[in-house]
Structure 1
Amino acid sequence: MIKLIAGKKGTGKTKLLINAIHEAEQASNGNVVAIQIGSSLNIDIYHKVRLVNIEDYNIDNYDAMYGFIAGMLASDYDCTDIFVDGILKICGRDMEKVGAMFDKVAAVSGENTHVTFTISAEVADLTENIKKYLK
């Protein structure tokens, strides 16, 4: 299941994401993963959550990001929640590719794993294929 938190820069997306991560960590009987550029979330997230600096894995496009997430799900059947902060910063601003990746991630994550992305863009600028995942 895909959820999307959208809005222009400075609208509180990361704060909403941090709150969602804390809620998932409290409710989950499995593993919670947070993917980010750098280490900005490290001080805000509980130690039980696995933090991943995506720069360590040279992920810079949507096909690579899909493969990374699918690989996580394939190797960790106990993964209940994945959070990705700043998908456009990680992979680029091609909205068609964003939507296509969301569809592929939704297909592999199923109903048992929640994958939440933040996207720095006005809702009006999103394609319909992306808007269907808005939280």
Structure 2
Amino acid sequence: MIKFIVGAKGSGKTKWLIDNANEDLKSGNGNIAFVDVDDDHIFSLDYQIRLINAQDYKLTNIDSLCGFICGLMAMDFDLEKIYIDSVYKIIDLNKDNLETLYDKLSSIEEIKERQIFINVDCLTKDLPEKLQACSEEVTLED
């Protein structure tokens, strides 16, 4: 399952990802990875959640992000959930090419057994219609 966590800048998307990752660790059986573009949240995440700095792996486009996600799944069969925060800061990830990312990831059989949450700076209404059903909009009130 792929879910886009959307909302305006400053709406609390990162907090949503961190809170849900920490909560899912308590209730789930598998491992959790949190991909970010820096190490700023190392103390916000439970120590059992694997924090990965995407910049260390030279991600530059959607293809490299898909390959990176596949690599994470291949190296850890117990990986249950992947939270991806702020990669739009280092790759061109916007409302116009999210459908490409979704299609590429959805075509990978292993994805169906995992949950992937991807933070994107846009509103649900701005997403392609196909992706609106697999998005959750975060607002300051959440």
Same fold (TM over 0.5): yes
* Identical columns (%): 30
SS in 1 for 2:97: helix
How many residues are aligned here? 135
**How far apart are residue 93 of structure 1 and its match?**
4.0
The answer for the alignment partner of 2:139 in structure 1 is none
Correspondence 1:62 to 2:52: no
The answer for the alignment partner of 2:16 in structure 1 is 16
**How far apart are residue 48 of structure 1 and its match?**
0.1
**Which ranges in structure 2 are unaligned for 5 or more consecutive residues?**
137-142
Write the distance in 2 (CA, Å) between the matches of 1:64 and 1:110: 16
**How far apart are residue 130 of structure 1 and its match?**
2.9
Write the distance in 1 (CA, Å) between the matches of 2:93 and 2:115: 23
- Aligned residue runs from structure 1 range 1-135, under 5 A: 1-108=1-108, 109-135=110-136
Write the distance in 1 (CA, Å) between the matches of 2:123 and 2:61: 21
Q: Which amino acid aligns with 1:15?
A: K
**How far apart are residue 111 of structure 1 and its match?**
3.6
Write the distance in 2 (CA, Å) between the matches of 1:14 and 1:130: 20
Check the 8 A contact 2:37/2:87 in 1, yes or no: no
SS in 2 for 1:115: strand
Write the distance in 2 (CA, Å) between the matches of 1:56 and 1:127: 31
**How far apart are residue 69 of structure 1 and its match?**
0.2
TM-score between the two structures when normalised by the length of structure 2: 0.86
TM-score between the two structures when normalised by the length of structure 1: 0.90
Check the 8 A contact 2:94/2:120 in 1, yes or no: no
**How far apart are residue 94 of structure 1 and its match?**
4.3
CA deviation string 1:71-129 (max 9, x = no partner) = 11122111000000023223214434322112222333444211001111122322223
SS in 2 for 1:91: coil
* Superposition CA RMSD, Å: 1.6
Moved over 4 A (4+): none
Write the distance in 1 (CA, Å) between the matches of 2:19 and 2:74: 26
